Amino acid sequence: MALFPSDFLTRLEYLSIISRRVFRGSLLAQRRTMQLGSGIEFSDHREYTAGDDFRYLDWNIYARHGDLLLKRFQEEQDLHVYLLLDCSRSMAFGDGRKFDLARQLIAAIAYIALADLDRISILAFTDGVFDNFPLTRGKARILQLMKFLEGLETGGNETNVAAAIQGLLHRQSRRGLAVLVSDLFDPKGFQRGLDQLRHRRFDGHVLQLYRDEEANPGLLGDVELVDVENESVRKVTVTERSLRTYRELFTAHQTSVREYCRNYGLGCTQAEAGVPFDELILQMMRASQVQR
């Protein structure tokens, strides 16, 4: 099945319209850059000093309190959306549904952002950023973006979220919204990378994808486990008990991701790779609106 079927753009347009009219852009949070400037929207007060312009005195406060305070105004800027796509081999595990869904989600989020006149950039990473789609603006770029995504292949030796985010921070100095689309099977832990993101005051949203076989493996007996990323081999005897332990660990991992994101104000969406991308986007929109 094609990564971007013939009705893909139609569905993206639909999502974009829904995002604007129904959810009022809540998907991308429409966070304003807190730049104080000559915009028309009131932002804050400061004390009057000699030489300030009388036109910005807040006469209402003077009338009530006798204090001379000056109004300050916001200056709006477009949102930078950075999309980090995990291209490690774990994403292509099985029939590659996880990787295809990730790319479709990247394309959908990019389109919604571009439709809102925001800028987007895509960084593909495995154990480090190995490819990127530079910051761009305008809906017309969507085709090139889709072509870029189609050309991506999985590889690398491991998933390294921290390296990916470091690569983002090195490339982009301006803060924005970073959307991480990955399965978060990082041996060194996903928290390190996201901590860096937070420290640099980026807004973050984690989109974790997994497969049902990863949550509930159907193995039993004497097997040779082969890690598709680092190709390590381990001969084990899988019993019912070890399966139960595995499921508990997986569930704990999922929980830790949710808790981390909740604790640090990051958006979090976890989905099984069998969910259609547009359904997932709508789910994200609903969740964002509730948060607001």
Partner 1 sequence: MSFGVPSALLWSLLAIPVIVFYILKVRLRRAPTSTSLFWSQVFDEKPPRSIWETLKHLLSLLAQLAILGLLVVAIADPYLPGQFMAARRVVVIVDNSASMQATDVGPSRLAAAKEKAVRLVDGLRFGDEMAVVIAGEHPAVAIGMSAHAPTIKRTIEAIGSTDCPTAIQPAIDLGRRLIGTHPLGQIVVLTDGCFAGSEQLLESTDVSLEVIGTPAPNVGITQFQARRSLVDPLGYELLSAVTNASDEPLEGRLEIELDGATVDILPLKLAAGETWSRALEKTSLNGGRLTATLTQLKTPAADKGEAKPFDDPLNSDNRAFAILPPRKIQDVLLVTPGNHFLQKVFEANRLVKLSVAKELPAEIPADTVVVLHRKVPEKLPPRNVLVIDPETSTEAWTVGGPLEQPIITKQDSDSPLMAHLKLDNVAMPKATQLTFPEPPHILAGAVSGEPIYASFKRTAPLKGVVLPVSLDEGDLTFRTAFPIMVANALSWFGESSGKLQPAVATGSVVDLPLNGVKHDSTIALNLVSPGGESKPVLLSASQPQADSVDAASATVGPLEQVGFWEVAEVAKDPKASPVVVGAVAVNLSNPAETDLRAPEKVRESVMRPLTAASWLTRPLWYYLAVLVLVLATVEWFLYQRRWIR
- Supply the minimum distance, in Å, between the C-beta of residue 56 and partner 1: 57
Binding mask 195-214 for partner 1 (x = CB under 8 A): ----------------x--x
Return the structure tokens found at 80: 């930078």
Binding of partner 1 by 102 (CB under 8 A): no
Nearer to partner 1, 94 or 274 (CB): 94
Q: Are 137 and 176 in contact (CB under 8 A)?
A: no
Binding of partner 1 by 100 (CB under 8 A): no
CA distance 94 to 76: 45
Other CB atoms within a 10 A radius of the CB of residue 201 amount to: 7
Binding of partner 1 by 96 (CB under 8 A): no
- Supply the minimum distance, in Å, between the C-beta of residue 255 and partner 1: 13
Reference 277, options 136, 146, 109, 42; nearest CA is 109
Burial zone of 204 (CB within 10 Å; 0-12 exposed, 13-18 middle, 19+ buried):
buried
Among 238, 268, 278, 286, binds partner 1 (CB under 8 A): 238
Stretch that binds partner 1, among 21-29, 69-77, 192-200, 245-253 (CB under 8 A): 245-253
What's the CA angle centered on 130, arms 285 and 152, to 5 degrees? 60
Interface ranges with partner 1 (CB under 8 A): 89-90, 93-94, 159, 183, 185, 187, 211, 214, 217, 219-230, 232, 234-242, 245-246, 249-250, 253
